[in-house]
Structure 1
Amino acid sequence: MNYTEQVEKYLEYCEFRKELDWNTLKAYRIDLRQFFEYTMEDIPGKEKIEDYITELHKKFKQKTIKRKIASVKAYYNFLEEREIISDNPFRKIKVGFKESIILPRIIPREEIEELLNFMYAQENKSNVKVHKFWLRDIAVIETLFATGARVYEISNIREDSVNLNTGLIRLMGKGGKERYIQIASSEILDLLKNYYKENAKEIKQSGFFFVNNRGCRYTEQSIRLMLKKYTKLAGIERNITPHMFRHSFATYLIEEGVDISCVQQILGHSSIKTTQIYIHVAAKKQAEILRESHPRNRMNILKFVA
């Protein structure tokens, strides 16, 4: 059996037996295609794999390298479990390396305020069609910031996943993991109710809560382009992406003193290590701690006179 047939069997196993989500399957498919395009063998051995890993280090950032190696390693584990190979070359390959910490980019509070105020100022009730789409856009941005959800989670919210009476939303995260999050603001809940009222027909037909101009799912890319448009119109120079709302949401919650384990649960992180990175960027809280608790405060040191 050649590698193409074997990879398809593996991806089928991942989809139906492991129940991995579409995004994970897409990443696996891309990673394995690149691996076999480089090695040009049905079952590459240790030497070829080592060469490929070296090539990855030349081309990609550490986080991407780590994912691509993990994809190939998982595939070889599958081959070993199915007894297609008797000797797994990954048992003799050291793939560990020190991963540099890249701090998440956040949106300054004043720019979030500036963007939302600009969007609210664009409301035009005289044109029914324009008003429907405006309601959708402001509802999407408010939901991104209110929940800290990933853009694909927002895009894939189903109609029956939103309870407009209680404000409870069911999100489907990485690996098909389900979680619930509360819309705590009555203003945002009222906005979502108005959006639903104006778009009810299209929402019911598509099954998705956020719909585009054609009544279909409002895709991740459409959300990115919409945000880019409003950011530019608002005169904000920063390149704001949907994921930056997630980073900002987490960082500002931690700055306000919310326990990190609560933030982990809200974000849907499987490991608290992923959430801990937001501690590094919670500058306001850091400054407050140093201002109030630094040992110099209790020392008798002569004052500097300017």
Structure 2
Amino acid sequence: MAKKFNEYYLNWDEINQIIAAAKNLKESLVLKILARTGMRRFELSKLEAKDVDFERKRLFIKKGKGATEKDPKSRAVPIDDDTLQTIKFYLGSRKTGFLVQSNKKSHDGISLSQINRIVSNCAKRANVKNPNPKLKNMNPHIFRHSFSRLSLAAGIPFNMVQRIAGHADARTTLQMYGVPSITDTQQLYDEKLVDKFQEKSKNKSNAKLTDFTGKSE
């Protein structure tokens, strides 16, 4: 089944505003991992402290989407220094257990509903709305879509974005993000074409709206 093209995404300024609205280390860490790796929320919830490679700057996802006993769909994703520093502060001296812990039980990993609330609440505090007009609240998956689109816009090749996002097939990445969004299209339209519309003809200056009577012939 073909993946549906996704039109909506956040820009980096909006993403950083949401991250800045975090009230504690846990919220900050959840937002940074989602925004800077494009990771699925269930993958984040299953990360363990031992899955962080501080030396090589990577997070190891043991089971991705569609994982089976024979094929766990595991992958490593790069991570930035700032997020690694946030992980260090959050973990403290702890080296075992889930990377991001549950609010209710310290030995459990963060729940999907907790991830949802963190994203939604921080977006509200930052006054950043979901770019999809059909959705009222911000959701974690918008970070995944945004990461993929912004990575491609930055010049990262499709196959590399596919690898980081954990798409089993590069065609999935192409189908979902290979078509420019209306936002990007509008920006280039304004930059490259609009001025041309206002250029005067060599033979005659452009007519003004006030030159017309308003009657059709």
**Same structural fold, with TM-score higher than 0.5 when normalized by the shorter chain:** yes
1:169 equivalent in alignment to 2:59:
yes
| Identity value in percent | 24
- Structure 1 residues 208 and 225 mapped into 2: Cα distance closer, same or farther (>3 Å)? same
Quote the offset at 1:141 in angstroms: 0.6
Change (3 A) 1:287 1:210: same
CA 1:285–1:251: 2 relative to 1, 3 Å: farther
CA distance in 2 between counterparts of 1:259 and 1:156 reads: 28
Give the drift of 1:146: 1.2
Deviation of 1:290 (Å): 10
Q: Which residue of 2 aligns with 1:153?
A: 43
Any idea what the Cα deviations from partners look like across 1:163-212, whole Å, max 9, x if unmatched? 123321111211220000111x22221111111117x2xx63xx211102
**TM-score, normalised via structure 2 length:** 0.73
Matched, 1:265 2:168: no
Q: Separation in 1 of the partners of 2:10 and 2:25?
A: 22
Report the CA distance between 1:281 and its aligned residue. 4.0
The reply to whether residue 284 of structure 1 matches residue 202 of structure 2 is no
Whether 1:230 aligns to 2:122 is yes
Q: Which residue of 1 aligns with 2:28?
A: 138
Corresponding position of 2:141: 243
SS at match of 1:169: strand
CA–CA distance in structure 2, aligned partners of residues 241 and 107 of structure 1 = 12
Counterparts of 1:167 and 1:161, CA distance in 2: 11
Give the aligned partner of residue 197 of structure 1: 92
- Structure 2 partner of 1:107: 10
State the alpha-carbon separation in 2 of the partners of residues 242 and 209 from structure 1.
Answer: 18
Q: Which runs of 5+ in 1 are unaligned?
A: 1-65, 67-98, 123-133
Distance 1:189 1:103, change over 3 A: same
C-alpha change, 1:102 and 1:288, in structure 2 (3 Å) is closer
Query: How many residues align structurally?
Result: 184
Structure 1 residues 272 and 195, CA gap change in structure 2 (3 angstroms) = same
Task: Tell me which moved more, 208-217 or 106-115.
Answer: 106-115
Q: Flag the structure with higher helix content.
A: 1
- How far is 1:100 from its partner? 8.7
- Is residue 2:75 matched to residue 1:179? yes
Determine the C-alpha separation between the residues in 2 that align with 1:236 and 1:260.
28
Alignment-mate amino acid for residue 226 of structure 1? I
TM-score, structure 1 as length reference? 0.53
Q: What's the offset of the Cα at 1:286?
A: 8.6
Matches of 2:187 and 2:117, distance apart in 1: 35
Structure 2: gaps spanning 5 or more residues: 131-136, 209-217
Instruction: Give the superposition deviation at 1:289.
Output: 9.8
Q: Which residue of 2 aligns with 1:130?
A: none
Separation in structure 1 between the aligned mates of residue 25 and residue 39 of structure 2, nearest angstrom: 19
Distance 1:229 1:289 in 2: 35
Q: Counterparts of 2:165 and 2:17 in 1: how far apart (Å)? A: 25
SS of match in other structure, 2:178: helix
Q: How far does residue 263 in structure 1 lie from its aligned partner after superposition? A: 0.8
Could you tell me how far apart the structure 2 residues matched to 1:100 and 1:163 are? Answer: 32
Q: How much does 1:246 deviate?
A: 0.5
**CA drift at 1:159:** 2.0
Which gives a bigger RCO, structure 1 or 2 (Cα 8 Å, sep 6+)?
Answer: 2
Give, in whole Å, the separation in 2 of the partners of 1:284 and 1:236. Answer: 19
Compared with structure 1, are the counterparts of its residues 181 and 102 closer, same or farther at alpha carbon in structure 2 (3 Å cutoff)?
closer
Cα RMSD between the aligned structures? 2.9
CA distance in 2: counterparts of 1:281 and 1:173, whole angstroms: 27
Q: One-letter code of the match for 1:137?
A: E
1:163 & 1:225 partners in 2: Cα distance?
28
